[in-house]
A and B are shown apart, each in its own frame.
Chain A
């Protein structure tokens, strides 16, 4: 054991195939399994919540309705009247990320939002969608976005690449923000948890000392719950802001 005392904070992010040989044959990872579970949870919240179709909602129905209303008003406030077209997309995005973040906090689970490949793919979907929307609404007029009206023409060779890079940095910043927050939280969990194990292994005094990192981890769970919500919210509200830009093209 003593040789293995280095903290392996990154092993938790290692991908493996799930669902036995069937999953292995199609390279279905445990990350994808968590995505399936998250999707099933979202769908069953809406299904079981809305099944009574009650005029006066029960608890689960109220939760489903709050979820619907919250995202709907976010779309409507940020994008404007056209926001209802993108509402299902933003809803899917928000709850897919939120469920991924929250499920990742359960022991023995896997946080798919801690993979840059996943967050970057989601961000690319967002950015491709906004670009397609902008092009379909404004046509080639969209490209004036990269050159603000009233800027001196001589600066065009400087402004246009800067604006293009700024536009292209959107998916990168979206994905890095989510990825970094999730990884940081889970690395800290792992590090503090390793401290607990190491100290507990060091004898009676160590067991008392292990209470420190344990308390830290308990506080960290509450903090990470907040971060899970906040990052899902930030990702989807930025999506809404980008969609607003695409629709209104300022």
Chain B
């Protein structure tokens, strides 16, 4: 398509150039015309001025805008990265703190439980010791009372026996004999 058009164009130029040959030929190749050369002089002036204006004034402006944008985007992305890192750090710190607090709480709970258990054991021991002592005392008291009762019973039994013997047999038994008999009877009962 392109080559075809271009070659058609070149054919057209050559035929047109031949057609115009008698008159002028291609104006572009008319180097006798002073305007062809003056055009080049003005071209040089305009092109050089354009180059100076672009390279000294216009393009640095564009470069400045592009650079400031790149710097700003870079700064924003750096800030985002730093903020992300800080957030990650904070989250990690928080997790660590939470874990530590939980561990501490658990430790303190278990020490408290242990202490309470120990205290309770101590109290229980003390209470049981006191109860033992009271029991022992009570037993002693019972024993004493029993002994006293037994002692009193002996006297009563002896007197009662002497009375019974006197009333039944009409005899006055020897007190020592009665006491021995009572003792024997008591021992037999106790046995």
Residue ranges of A at the interface with B (Cβ–Cβ < 8 Å): 6-11, 13-17, 26-29, 31-32, 35-36, 39, 42-43, 46-47, 50, 53-55, 61, 64-65, 68-69, 87-89, 91-92, 96, 112, 114-118, 121-122, 125, 179-181, 183-185, 187-188, 191, 223
For A8, list chain B residues within 8 Å (CB): 20
Contact yes or no, A184 B13, CB < 8 A:
yes
For B29, list chain A residues within 8 Å (CB): 116
For B66, list chain A residues within 8 Å (CB): 65, 68-69
A187 CA / B36 CA spacing, docked (Å): 19
A-B contact list, 7 entries, CB within 8 Å? A10-B20, A29-B39, A32-B42, A55-B69, A89-B51, A117-B31, A188-B8
A29 CA / B38 CA spacing, docked (Å): 8
| Least CB distance, B187 to chain A, in whole angstroms | 123
Q: How large is the interface on B (under 10, 10 to 19, 20 to 34, 35 or more residues)?
A: 35 or more
**B57-65, B94-102, B140-148 - interface stretch:** B57-65
For B138, list chain A residues within 8 Å (CB): none
A10 CA / B5 CA spacing, docked (Å): 18
CB interface residues, B 38-83, toward A, < 8 Å: 38-44, 46-47, 49-51, 53-55, 58-59, 61-66, 68-69, 72
- Known: A115-B28, A118-B40, A125-B47. Is A185-B9 also a contact (CB below 8 A)? yes
| Least CB distance, A223 to chain B, in whole angstroms | 7
Contact yes or no, A115 B39, CB < 8 A:
yes
Q: Does B176 contact A (CB under 8 A)?
A: no
For B31, list chain A residues within 8 Å (CB): 117
A6 CA / B156 CA spacing, docked (Å): 179
A54 CA / B54 CA spacing, docked (Å): 20
Q: Across chains A and B, which 8 residue pairs bring their CB atoms closest together, nearest first?
A: A184-B9, A88-B55, A27-B38, A32-B42, A46-B58, A15-B35, A9-B16, A14-B27
For B44, list chain A residues within 8 Å (CB): 121
Contact yes or no, A10 B46, CB < 8 A:
no
Q: Does B10 contact A (CB under 8 A)?
A: yes
A53 CA / B64 CA spacing, docked (Å): 9
Best-surrounded residue of A9, A64, A114 (most CB of chain B within 10 A): A9
| Least CB distance, B9 to chain A, in whole angstroms | 2
A31 CA / B41 CA spacing, docked (Å): 12
The residue on A at minimum CB distance from B56 is A88
For B62, list chain A residues within 8 Å (CB): 46, 50, 64-65, 68
A16 CA / B30 CA spacing, docked (Å): 13
For A191, list chain B residues within 8 Å (CB): 12, 16
**One of B5, B35, B64, B72 near A29 (C-beta < 8 A):** B35
Contact yes or no, A88 B59, CB < 8 A:
yes
**One of A116, A117, A187 near B16 (C-beta < 8 A):** A187
For B185, list chain A residues within 8 Å (CB): none
**One of A11, A47, A87 near B58 (C-beta < 8 A):** A47
| Least CB distance, B18 to chain A, in whole angstroms | 11
- Known: A9-B12, A183-B9, A185-B9. Is A118-B50 also a contact (CB below 8 A)? no
